[in-house]
A and B are shown apart, each in its own frame.
Chain A
Amino acid sequence: MIDQMNALASQIKPATAVSVPVVEAKGLGLTFETNDGPVHALSNVNLTINKGDFVSFIGPSGCGKTTFLRTIADLEQPTAGTLSVNSMTPRQAREARAYGYVFQAAALLPWRTIERNVALPLEVMGFSRTDVAERIHRTLELVNLTGFEKKYPWQLSGGMQQRASIARALAFDADLLLMDEPFGALDEIVRDHLNSQLLELWARTSKTICFVTHSIPEAVYLSTKIVVMSPRPGRVTDVIESTLPKERPLDIRETPEFLAIAARVRDGLRAGHSYED
């Protein structure tokens, strides 16, 4: 009897650990008022992102995937529904420095060296000098940029710059990483490389990652959960739980399982009429 309960408890434990919601959207809507009338960037979005998830948002331009990410980051204000981040409002979460944000471009400050760029959030948040040095060292190691501390951004390739901006987002140990098409401007070879590095980093840090992308293979390769979105109005058309194992070598992309998920994503995009224009 006791053995049975213990067995039960051990089954429940990992289950509860997995299902702590980090982001919860209920009936979320966002309408921009423009001169050409209202634009429905987001309409009735219901979504729960749990701790440790790697969630990709995929869809064509104008489907609201970036807007949704910016709403989580308190860079846009929703006009309908509720959104909580770590059981707080997005504003409180931002003030508690709950997330790191990685933009489409590396957005490094050109007058700061790589290490000073990584130090930027730490300076703003008032970390001690020794703590800053230790964190710079640790996060640059995490993104394989050790040895480039004293370089200026223009001395690095595009992929390295984007890795530095990821290091900057990781430096203050936020549990949530919001990434807005971070590898969109990079060529496919660099992108493959960074994708596998990102998975490795995710496995090592067990962060929750929200990742916006245009690329179906990228979304399937990276995610535990794929959110398919459609434009006019911006909405969620499908949420796909990935059945791929956590361990993912690059050639997993040739397996039937991978192709099946990719096909479902493509179907979801087609169902949302995303291919029509």
Chain B
Amino acid sequence: MDRFRDKIIPVLTILMGIVIAWYIGAYALNAPFQRDLDRRAGETPTTYEFVVKTMTQPKPTLPAPHQVASNFFENTFLRKVSSARSLVYHAGVTLASTLSGFALGTLLGILIAVGIVHVTTLDRSLMPWIITSQTIPILALAPMIIVVLAAVGITGLIPKALISTYLSFFPVAVGMVKGLRSPETMHLDLMHTYNASKAETFWKLRLPASVPFLFASMKVAVAASLVGAIIGELPTGAVAGIGAKLLSGSYYSQTIDMFSALVAGAVVAALLVTLVGVAGKLVERAMGARPA
């Protein structure tokens, strides 16, 4: 009951506000075109009829929430998963490159952090480059990666996954540098009194201490991976994936399709972030954390 009052009601209130604002926006943006249509057809609808018409256009400037919802429902649950119109199929394609890019990015981020924490030269030289790498707009870089890799014969999943890697290694590297440096001086002194080697200090102290930092940055990284995968799908000739769906929607002014692809992307992102969060909770529980 407390959960209902403290969590669900506030979320639903905000959601309702967004939906109302969305309907008002849909009316305002679709009205001029509808007025134009009615004038040409010589129709004079009542206010109620006019409002309904702005919400039921086949290619609206801004589709109304119920149009997006029914399109999303239809393309998610009523189509065969193998169909090219199924959002599940497209989400699956995007998910595959998101997850491979995320795995690679996390691994790369951890390796970079280990290097920075243990090698003074890397500590002094690597960070500026890592930060610079993230200031380059991925939208400019993605087509170059796709084209260059296609020129050497690499197409399909790998180029998209690499764009995800490029976006997701960064939060992990930054978070893990902080995490691996998080043990207190007292704990480091303790390992020193045992005459522990650097490797022993790493495995028994630094790495376990960094776990909460790892999961916090993996949450950011997995969302960035999804963005990378979608962007990677834009220049691939619109074959498959949420990005391709967005692109073809914009070619043919299928605004409803574009919006339901966006919703699909949001659902996938929410699922991924939640999954990483749950995995983090489970690991921390297994490591004896005090239950909150």
**A and B interact:** yes
Interface residues of A (CB under 8 A from B): 73-75, 94-95, 97, 99-101, 103-105, 107, 109-113, 120-121, 123-125, 152, 154
State whether B186 touches A94 (Cβ < 8 A): no
Q: Which residues from 164 to 197 on chain B have a C-beta closer than 8 Å to any C-beta of chain A?
A: 184, 186-187, 189-196
For residue B5, CB closer than 8 A to chain A, the reply is: no
Chain B residues with Cβ under 8 A from A97's Cβ?
Answer: 194-195
- Report how many A-B pairs have Cβ atoms within 8 Å: 56
Partner of B204, one of A73, A110, A120, A125: A120
Who on chain B is nearest to A168 by CB?
Answer: B190
For residue B287, CB closer than 8 A to chain A, the reply is: yes
Partner of A103, one of B186, B196, B287, B288: B186
**From residue B194, how far is it (CB to closest CB) to chain A in Å?**
5
B interface: dominant SS: helix
Tell whether A107 pairs with B184 under 8 Å between CB atoms, given A95-B195, A97-B195, A120-B204. yes
Complex alpha-carbon distance, A152 and B194, angstroms: 22
Chain A residues with Cβ under 8 A from B187's Cβ?
Answer: 107, 109
State whether B184 touches A111 (Cβ < 8 A): no
Q: Which residues from 185 to 216 on chain B have a C-beta closer than 8 Å to any C-beta of chain A?
A: 186-187, 189-196, 200, 204-205, 208-209, 211
Who on chain B is nearest to A96 by CB?
Answer: B195
Please list the 3 inter-chain residue pairs (A to B) with the smallest Cβ-Cβ separation, ordered nearest first.
Answer: A152-B288, A111-B287, A124-B194
State whether B204 touches A123 (Cβ < 8 A): yes
Partner of B288, one of A73, A100, A105, A113: A113
Complex alpha-carbon distance, A100 and B195, angstroms: 11
Complex alpha-carbon distance, A169 and B184, angstroms: 18
For residue B3, CB closer than 8 A to chain A, the reply is: no
Tell whether A107 pairs with B288 under 8 Å between CB atoms, given A123-B204, A124-B196. no
Who on chain A is nearest to B191 by CB?
Answer: A124
Interface residues of B (CB under 8 A from A): 184, 186-187, 189-196, 200, 204-205, 208-209, 211, 287-290
Chain A residues with Cβ under 8 A from B287's Cβ?
Answer: 111
Complex alpha-carbon distance, A105 and B184, angstroms: 11
State whether A124 touches B193 (Cβ < 8 A): no
Partner of A75, one of B189, B288, B290: B189
Complex alpha-carbon distance, A97 and B186, angstroms: 18
Chain A residues with Cβ under 8 A from B192's Cβ?
Answer: 74-75, 94
Give 6 A-B contacts (CB < 8 Å), ordered by A residue.
A104-B186, A109-B208, A110-B289, A111-B289, A120-B194, A120-B204
Chain B residues with Cβ under 8 A from A75's Cβ?
Answer: 189, 192-193
State whether B208 touches A111 (Cβ < 8 A): yes
**From residue A73, how far is it (CB to closest CB) to chain B in Å?**
6
State whether B191 touches A105 (Cβ < 8 A): no
Complex alpha-carbon distance, A169 and B53, angstroms: 79
